[in-house]
Amino acid sequence: MAANILIGVLIFGYASWALFNFIKKSKNGKCTSCSLKKSCSSSCSSISDIQK
């Protein structure tokens, strides 16, 4: 019984953490939250485009 509760807490804890990080990154915008922003060749790769 205690193992089931522990597993449930771990699953919901990780899901909450992942959702929090997703929302935090989505508020930054498309290019600033992209993991490839340093090597990206899209139109928002410059700082002036990101700030617009």
Concatenate the DSSP letters of all residues of 3-49 into one string: HHHHHHHHHHHHHHHHHHHHHHHHHH-TTTT-TTTTT--STT-SHHH
Domain membership of residue 33 as a residue range? 2-51
Tell me the pLDDT of the chain averaged across its residues.
77
Determine the pLDDT at residue 33. Answer: 60
Structural domains of the chain, count: 1
Determine the pLDDT at residue 50. Answer: 46
Determine the pLDDT at residue 49. Answer: 45
**Token pair belonging to 34:** 């992209």
* 52 residues of the chain, pLDDT tens digit each: 899 999 999 999 999 999 998 888 887 766 666 666 667 666 554 444 444 4
